Chain A
């Protein structure tokens, strides 16, 4: 009965809540083409004024980092506290710095 080739492709949906904010991932939809993906995303994810703009991206086009590489990728940042302003001590009587 079901043929995987006949299933509509999957799209990832991103919504901009309002101008000035970036688009944020909210979920996914199945749609035959880009136009239908926008319409399905509109019906599925913006029924309550959640946004003013939509992006849809074919899920297959997303390249993700491998969770197994999370250590090598992200842990080096952990011991570099000197990248944050709070690392530096400034005398109390010095202002605006």
Chain B
């Protein structure tokens, strides 16, 4: 891709990244990645590549798991049986996506328990979006449409990310994710064409979720220190700002089609660049949420930690049962 190539030419000196590593191995690795080859678990890779992947994949996995909470909040209150069945299936998918991703990260030599512990201790981050509360049923529509829409925008290029297990997990995730976005849009569509109160709820949900969704793409390129290296290693395939722009351009007409208004007075079509101009994002808010100051950050972590602690006896009992069965079989 054009931008990736630009980054390559302007790339930092290679030695700076991993000066302690065998230059011949490093060079061979760089060449393989530059030729769009996939790297597999047992292949040699620079330590920084491994670290970056563990961070990114585990963070991605944590986001899927924590992401089950805001939607799980509405399963018992879904307005119809159909909506309930759909939401259950979606939340179950998110759990599955978390598991594909944890498994991919484990191929890099980290353990599941280490990752879970990093999440619970606050060392590992997850997507800031899940630290916002789901106040009304319309929020479930907005999450599917906007949050899953933004996630798809991020994940589609990751199907060609250079690490094989991560790329394969992304192929499965993307295949399953498009129903998530459509069911959300369908909820918004139904509400936007319902009673005036329902339409107000839909608009209110869009108002609250729009900016946090744009923040999901991460800090602007000039403040994204990891982007250049990640692009050179083909871990990332597009920059944060490129993906954000793409998301705005596809989503604005979707809002218009159902009579909702994107809450941005500066939003307007820019013929010259063939895309929308949009207003300034409140990055102070973003960094505050990253630091764990989101409206429901504490509640989210408490729910995860409680689930883990409350499940401890089940994990132990299952192991004891397996040990007993093995002992019997051996006798």
Contact = CB atoms under 8 A, between A and B. Distances in A.
A29 B315 contact: no
Contacts of A66: 42
A7 B113 contact: yes
A33 B316 contact: no
Nearest to B120: A1
Contacts of B113: 2-4, 6-7
Nearest to B117: A2
Contacts of A43: 92, 96
B318 interface: yes
Nearest to B312: A6
Given A27-B103, A27-B169, A44-B100, A8 B318 contact: yes
Nearest to B97: A44
Given A27-B169, A28-B106, A2 B116 contact: yes
Contacts of B172: 27
A1 B321 CA distance: 22
Interface in B89-132: 89, 92-93, 96, 99-100, 103, 106, 111-114, 116-117
A7 B321 CA distance: 14
B96 A44 contact: yes
A29 B99 contact: yes
A67 interface: yes
A interface, over-half SS? mixed
A48 B176 contact: yes
B40 interface: yes
Nearest to A40: B99
Contacts of A4: 111, 113
A27 B41 CA distance: 13
21 contacts: A2-B111, A2-B114, A2-B117, A4-B113, A6-B319, A7-B112, A27-B103, A27-B168, A27-B172, A28-B106, A29-B99, A32-B321, A33-B322, A43-B92, A44-B96, A47-B93, A47-B96, A64-B42, A67-B42, A67-B43, A68-B44
Interface of B: 40, 42-44, 89, 92-93, 96, 99-100, 103, 106, 111-114, 116-117, 168-169, 172, 176, 315-316, 318-319, 321-322, 325-326
Given A1-B117, A7-B111, A47-B96, 16 more contacts: A2-B111, A2-B116, A2-B117, A6-B113, A6-B319, A8-B318, A27-B172, A28-B103, A29-B99, A32-B322, A33-B325, A44-B96, A45-B96, A47-B176, A67-B43, A67-B44
3 smallest beta-carbon distances between A and B, as pairs: A32-B318, A2-B113, A33-B322
